[in-house]
């Protein structure tokens, strides 16, 4: 994998999904690890098992978009006019 931002690349490669699947047919990127505005290039190389000099490469370029912040409430008390909490 190559990336326009070395810190973003390190963040992807440190993910447990990436580490567990980088040598497999399907690659898993952990949620929340891609950085908005950064371009990632994923390249796969296929080789013949009986002649590893025969190979082909394919690449996929992904530009991650920034997403809006999501609010989360931790703790507190529940109050409602309609139901008992």
| CB neighbour class for 3 (10 Å; exposed up to 12, middle 13-18, buried from 19) | buried
Spatial separation of the C-alpha atoms in residues 56 and 9, rounded to whole Å = 24
Q: Facing residues of 30 across strands?
A: none
Residue 85: is its pLDDT beyond 60?
A: no
pLDDT tier at 82, thresholds 50, 70, 90: low
Residue 80: is its pLDDT beyond 70?
A: no
Contact (CB, 8 A) for 60 and 41: yes
pLDDT at residue 63, rounded to an integer? 92
Residue 26: is its pLDDT beyond 60?
A: yes
What are the extents of the domains in the chain? 2-63
Q: Which residues contact 17 (CB under 8 A, 6 or more apart)?
A: 28, 29, 30
């Amino acid at each position: 994998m190559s990336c326009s931002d070395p810190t973003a690349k390190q963040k992807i490669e440190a993910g447990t999904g990436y580490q567990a699947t980088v040598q497999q047919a399907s690659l898993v990127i952990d949620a929340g690890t891609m950085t908005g505005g950064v371009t990632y290039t994923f390249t796969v190389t296929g080789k013949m098992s009986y002649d590893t000099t025969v190979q082909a490469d394919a690449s996929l370029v992904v530009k991650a978009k920034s997403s809006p912040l999501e609010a989360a409430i931790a703790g507190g008390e529940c109050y409602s006019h309609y139901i008992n909490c």
